[in-house]
Amino acid sequence: MNIILLGPPGAGKGTQAHHLVESRDMIQLSTGDMLREAKDSGSEMGRIVADVMARGDLVTDDIVIGLIREKLQGNKQGGFIFDGFPRTLAQADALADLLEEQDETLDAVVELRVDDEALVERITARSTCGGCGEVYNDITKPWPADGKCAKCGSTDIKRRSDDNEDSLRNRLMEYYKKTSPLLGYYYANGQLASVDGLGDIDEVKAAIAAALDK
């Protein structure tokens, strides 16, 4: 099964992709991770990526499609999760062509639907442990009173510099401008399933599982 996860910044795509990797033996294809991996690989594609990034240029769709092609030709396991790609209609068309070329199908597109105000409140309260990456929230899951991570004991509390209200609203606007047309695109294709992305993690996990099992 090959699926796309759609949703604005902070909607929980990474968390839910991790659950799918564990429960369904899927492979998460995150654009950022693929670019970093390629840059350090020493391969021909990696040298192209490294050169583009060194110049400060934007990585083209052709490069990202090339990286995805390499992954599709490898071990498929339980299928692929496309996380962070496509972001535009042009990228959606390119991915459809690539999947057809590789004799693959796109089985579902899951949208993590959120309320902007609730999302802003949740993300601006977010922090992570610098030791193990455990995620905390000032409102729903505050740091332990002793200041130590409950998972690894680290006292290294990290907050993303762009997890502030102004920055987050700008990121949301950019997402809606570029990515929202994809919802209509995949709805028209009968592939879109929307779930409440602001529910409890296990509730969202169950809703995604139900959508995929259809």
> 47 catalytic, yes or no?
no
> Quick one: pLDDT at residue 29?
92
Predicted pLDDT at 9? 82
Of 87, 43, 88, nearest to 66 by C-alpha is: 43
160 is catalytic: yes
Instruction: List domains and CATH numbers for the chain.
Output: 2-114+178-213 (3.40.50.300)
**What's the CA angle centered on 102, arms 99 and 105, to 5 degrees?**
40
Alpha-helical (H) ranges within the chain are 13-24, 31-39, 44-54, 61-72, 89-101, 116-124, 165-188, 201-213
Which residues of the chain are modeled with pLDDT < 50? none
pTM score of the predicted model: 0.79
129 is in an annotated binding site: yes
pLDDT of residue 6: 93
Residue among 160, 179, 27 at smallest CA distance from 112 = 179
Q: What confidence score (pLDDT) does residue 5 get? A: 95
What per-residue confidence (pLDDT) applies to 182? 94
> What is residue 55's predicted lDDT score, i.e. its pLDDT?
87
Q: In the prediction, which pLDDT does 38 show?
A: 87
Residue 199 assigned ligand-binding role: yes
pLDDT of residue 210: 95
Terminal C-alpha separation, the chain: 12
> Which residue among the candidates 69, 151, 160, 177 is catalytic per the annotation?
160
